Amino acid sequence: MAKWTVVVSPEQYESERLYGADKLAVPGVGDSLSAGDEVLLVAAVDEPVVFGLARADGRGGLQYTVNLLETPLPAPDFVGAATEAGAHPVDERAFLDIQRQVRPADTARRTWLVSVDMPIEAASPGEAVRAFWNYVRELGPAELPAFVWPSGNELAMQAFVLGAEANQDPEED
């Protein structure tokens, strides 16, 4: 099994933060990787970060083994030379150094309530629903806050915009 660093563009990283899934497709890296190869996922942002560990599936995709989107690690110096999007071989020792830094995630699943509320003027419920989905599509996660809280604890509600906590109180700017 080879070890790789797969660098993604800032745009793809933002998309992962917003719409994360169990698999990641990175254009142009499928031919470089063999099934079972291990990968450090790096975002080519101003200060590069490792946002996950993955394994190549042999069909051009990467399956997350560890998702670090909530707590990315600063990318090590050896990544500095590989900030161009694509797959870059990495020394096994360097790969293991990063792997050791990864803390096991709290995998206990819990129920979260997520809500997007907005007042919509409409003549009927159906028209209001259509207008709602138009707003969601047009505004998207860059402008439309989503509210999230653990089930049964509404006082812990937090607003998120672009996948990060965002203060929505206009008096607390």
Q: Which domains does the chain have, with CATH numbers?
A: 3-101 (3.10.590.10), 112-172 (no CATH)
Other CB atoms within 10 A of residue 51 CB: 26
- Rounded Cα gap, residues 17 and 67, in angstroms: 10
pTM for this prediction? 0.73
- Rounded Cα gap, residues 51 and 137, in angstroms: 27
Estimate to the nearest angstrom the gap between the alpha carbon of 51 and the chain centroid: 8
Percentage, residues of the chain above pLDDT 70: 91
Greater model confidence, 6 or 30? 6
Other CB atoms within 10 A of residue 161 CB: 15
Greater model confidence, 103 or 148? 148
Backbone phi, then psi, for 111, in 5-degree steps?
Answer: -90, 130
Q: Is residue 32 pLDDT above 70, yes or no?
A: yes
Please, what is the average pLDDT of the chain? 85
Q: Is residue 112 pLDDT above 80, yes or no?
A: yes
